[in-house]
Structure 1
Amino acid sequence: MYEKYYGFRERPFQLTPTPNWFYASKLHKRALAYLQYGLSQGEGFIVITGDVGTGKTTIANQLLNQLNQDEIIAKQIVTSKLEPDDLIRMVASSFNLVVTEHTKASYLDAIYSYLKRLHAQHRRALLLVDEAQNLPLASIEELRMLSNFQFNGKPLLQSFLLGQNELNAIIQSPDMEQFRQRIIASSNLSALQPDDTKAYIQYRLQQAGADSSIIHEDCYPFIHQQSKGIPRKINTLMDRVLLYGYLEDKKQLNTDDVQLVIAEINQEVANLHPSAPMPPSSAADNTGISHNVSTALNSMIEEKLKLLQEMDELLKKQQKALQQKESKPFD
């Protein structure tokens, strides 16, 4: 909506991870370096954890974007609470493997045969497991068992686990000792520091083809405080700030503008959670929210909620289809 107004080539603060827009803070550089190191080792597990929105999936996409497809066949799966048998099915499906009998032995045999074919071609397989904190202990153990597939002493499958901070507690369980011994590197992503928040915003504005001066220097502390340095929250807030600027015909945005948008977001949160206190904001008390801005933002929120509902329905249908397809129990 506001791209042409500010001269952007595309929206600078999209929520969908984009490899070409990867901003490498110190922590993100370290996590990516661990992934690259693990990849060079060709064995073991790499574990990347962090709070929601800190950039785990973005880092995974960055790694996938750098891979040589002639050497490594990489597949990424996003897990829900998959039991071990369902996880095996999903792994086989991600590599487009077909079985004649829907038994666990058949799926494992198909995976092993496929991995051996890759090995004969001087290639190997990489599995990136996103949202791994959703997996039961038994399913994580199943991933460890898959890592036992070898040929002539060389591992055939390597897995990277990406998950929220709860994954750390799962891995530290007494029952996960064997899995922990297979971890060759791990990293935890935390929020951006104030300087990185500013650099992140300026980088994305410049990538979009605009001058970062459209955001006044004094705005950054407010943006960092509201977003807590979480990249996804920064994107959401900045998207709203730019939309406000477009609707109010503001080529440059100052602290009053940012505080006004923050006040509206806080009000929306308070409306969704009536028991939660709303942080005070002088901008909201003294300035108020224009009717045009409020209407446009409400419309945008309704569209996003509708999209989330559609995605949820699609996920439910996919899970139901998988259950129906594999109606026979494993032997």
Structure 2
Amino acid sequence: MRAISISTAGDADVLTLIDASRPTPGAGEVVIDVAAAGVNRADVMQRKGLYPPPKGASELPGLEVSGTIAEVGEGVSGLAVGDEVCALLDGGGYAEAVAVPATQVLPVPKGVSLVDAAALPEVVCTVWSNVFMTAGLQQGETVLLHGGSSGIGTMAIQLASAVGARVAVTAGSQAKLDACRELGADILINYKDEDFVERVKDATDGHGADVILDNIGAKYLPRNVEALATSGRLVIIGLMGGRTGELDLAALLTKRAAVIATSLRARPLDEKAAIVAAAGEHVWPLVESGQVRPVVHQRYPLEDAAQAHRDLEDSGHIGKLLLTT
């Protein structure tokens, strides 16, 4: 089968089209003939040598796919050859076929194309597990989403709006902010020329954000704590702005706030299974009703993976980038 490998750590040109061995399903696994794979920041970090796959996972990049089940391993029930599905992966998605635990597989939602369903697993599981399962966002609360026009941001806006939360976003252009507004964002902040702490405080009459979802890390850490409401929850899921920052513990204590750092890829299988099941239970009905939708910026053929990575790193996109087979 065709697949994209990382020949060595480096820039996008190290992504190489290869002929790889087709996977076979182990016990509890299915093999999916891939229609499309999502392109994520984690893939870029892996390409640069900063985010190695978990022990036992495929060395090929790719954390989510959609496609058709081609083989079913021993002990799998509820899934059959020919089912159209999407799946959360530990790796291996940049290929024409991938093996994945059956507990990390969901049906393609009604009303979503087989290709575009690849835009769902990683962002839905990331948002649902962090914003709702971990941070406990509730109706009437305010959530601040950094990078509101990203794949995660566009999904988080829709899900937060669906539960009746007030949504604040940061983005770097008016076009991106306009897209966030159309998806349901209430407070639009251009981080290039506005102070997000002051804007959030002004918009909430000094209350602040009850939940903040942050992919920047160290660069934003003290400002995020300042923007938090009393009993607020800051969830850090990325390190685009650095790994080491200062945390004012006095400010945190005064606000009785929490700072939580999480990742999805390295979680044990049972935790991933619980997150995928929760996504299917809570989010899939919203997708099938049309209240929530995948936002796809561009689709590329598999062999153009390097260009997809360049475009992701240029940050001109709104929503998800996909590779198609």
Class of the TM-score when normalised by the shorter of the 2 chains? 0.3 to 0.5
When normalised by structure 2's length, the TM-score is 0.32
Q: Which has the higher helix share?
A: 1
Higher relative contact order (CA 8 A, sep 6+): 1
When normalised by structure 1's length, the TM-score is 0.32
